[in-house]
Structure 1
Amino acid sequence: MKQRVQGSAGVQGAARVPAQRAVDVARERDVAVPGARGEHTHCEPPIPQPRAVVQRSSVRGQILDALRTALVAGELKPGEVYSAPVLGERFGVSATPVREAMQQLTLEGAVEVVPNRGFRVVRRGARELAELAEVRALIEVPVMLRLARTVPAERWAGLRPLADETARAASSGCAATYAESDRAFHRAVLSLSGNEQLVQVAEDLHRRSQWPPVGGPVRHGRADLVADAAEHTALLEALIARDLDVVRGLVGEHFAGAS
């Protein structure tokens, strides 16, 4: 149900103000105004219904997470344009938190603003994904090798539940579920560096690399996800054993496979 802000002037009073003021009043009350934000809702591709309607608390954050999941799962298709009102209907909320979430995705490079229509999902090619993998490797590989020399075995062992979770997520075959567990594992590894800025930059690059390219909703099938998750487990065992040669080889293969 859409949230509405009650104004003191009332609907009749709003009808008597000039056209622009009427638009402003409608916006304040979160009432859809045709053309007010240049978003038309006709001729848009159908969108699968969500598994559950989001809760009212932290609506913007929940919508942002839901949109990111839809991107990874291929439910929001590259090249297609989606308007905030239509997406709001999908999630059972007003258009406002959807616009705010879409603006964040614009900053992240996932979508772009289309004047008078809404937001277009950015088309991504193999070259861009390869470049992202290369940049991730340049950042993460040296850090992992340094951590392999300094972090005690018991701290690495504490990450076993996260590696196990990536294996379970991979077995499900759900790209969105695996993407979340994959990021959680890499985030936990890099967090041992104590450099929060590095963790944030690396996670942003990681998230971008998980969006599917043009030509298919999922970049990897179940077998590829399982193989990727197995590399996490092998890497963790090598880190616990402090086998630097194996660590070096595994992280190189891991990022090569991400391209």
Structure 2
Amino acid sequence: MTKPHQPFHALQQRDLVNQIADQLTEALLKGRFQSGSHLAEAQLAREFGVSRAPVREAARLLESRGMLVSQPRRGFFVRTFSAEELNEVYDLRLCLERHAIQLLVGKLTAEMEEDLRKQLDTIYVAADRGTAVQQIEEDVVFHRMLCVFGGNSRLVKVFDQLCHEMRFCILLIGQLYDDPMRVASTHQPIIEALRTREPAACEAAIDYHIGVAQQKVVEMFRHSSQQRC
């Protein structure tokens, strides 16, 4: 099932797949496609004014980002999460980033801080005039930098594996806030905590940043599930 929606924007001839993927992500963010709903390739191709091939490739790209799932001979569907699954994703993410920031305590160089601040500026730019997919990707880059700077390559590898589900969770966070700038601003206290070089302050900053999102998203999903029952 889909909700009434605005027509998709006209596409440029180059880079069709990424343009379609970006617009589909925006549609997911705005709730056009309900959780578990089927994405009809033929209908989308007509709306975009393209063949089915770039639509299919865009859907595969969104599947790699954890937003869609494919079923043999049936096509692509909006990924469905339960509140419990989301809670597990956030629990693991919190464990990873809590450990990463503890590894980073006292080791933050001027170059690392500058890189984090530049990335935060990029997050603000994406929040101001970027697409939903750009906002998600820049958010992920910031948190991956924390893991990389922590110096544990295996932790980074696990973070990358979790990224597919994390991207979908960040997409859900966007549904909770009218102003993307508010989401962007929540990264600033992490940098400030790292500057103190105090383990407790750093852990508290990452716990708050991820924990508040976890509480709100999981609560939203539980409430939504109760309404459907």
Q: TM-score, normalised by structure 1?
A: 0.65
Distance 2:133 2:183 in 1: 14
Structure 2: stretches of 5+ with no match in the other structure:
215-229
Counterpart in the other structure of 2:80: 123
- In the alignment, residue 48 of structure 1 is paired with which amino acid? Q
Matched, 1:222 2:178: yes
- In the alignment, residue 92 of structure 1 is paired with which amino acid? G
Counterpart in the other structure of 1:56: 14
Distance 2:190 2:75 in 1: 43
Counterpart in the other structure of 1:19: none
Q: 1:96 to 1:193 in 2, by over 3 A?
A: farther
Distance 1:109 1:133 in 2: 15
Counterpart in the other structure of 1:135: 92
Query: Could you tell which deviates more after superposition, 118-127 or 139-148?
Result: 118-127
Counterpart in the other structure of 1:87: 44
Counterpart in the other structure of 1:28: none
Q: 1:161 to 1:133 in 2, by over 3 A?
A: same
Distance 1:91 1:188 in 2: 36
Distance 1:166 1:44 in 2: 30
Q: Retained in 2: the 8 A contact 1:54–1:63?
A: no
- Summarize the alignment of residues 41-52 of structure 1 with structure 2, pairs less than 5 Å apart: 47-52=5-10
Counterpart in the other structure of 2:192: 237
Give deviations 1:132-183, integer Å, cap 9, x for gaps.
11111122220122122323133213321322343565578x8666434422
1:210 equivalent among 167, 170, 177: 170
| Alpha-carbon offset, residue 246 of structure 1 | 1.1
SS at match of 1:149: coil
Q: 1:46 to 1:139 in 2, by over 3 A?
A: same
| Alpha-carbon offset, residue 185 of structure 1 | 2.0
SS at match of 1:79: coil
Counterpart in the other structure of 1:96: 53
Counterpart in the other structure of 1:23: none
SS at match of 2:87: helix
Aligned-residue RMSD, C-alpha? 3.4
Distance 2:12 2:86 in 1: 31
Q: 1:73 to 1:106 in 2, by over 3 A?
A: same
Q: 1:48 to 1:148 in 2, by over 3 A?
A: farther
| Alpha-carbon offset, residue 45 of structure 1 | 5.7
| Alpha-carbon offset, residue 103 of structure 1 | 3.4
SS at match of 2:172: coil
* Percent of residue pairs bearing the same amino acid type: 28
Equivalenced residues, count: 211
Distance 1:47 1:114 in 2: 26
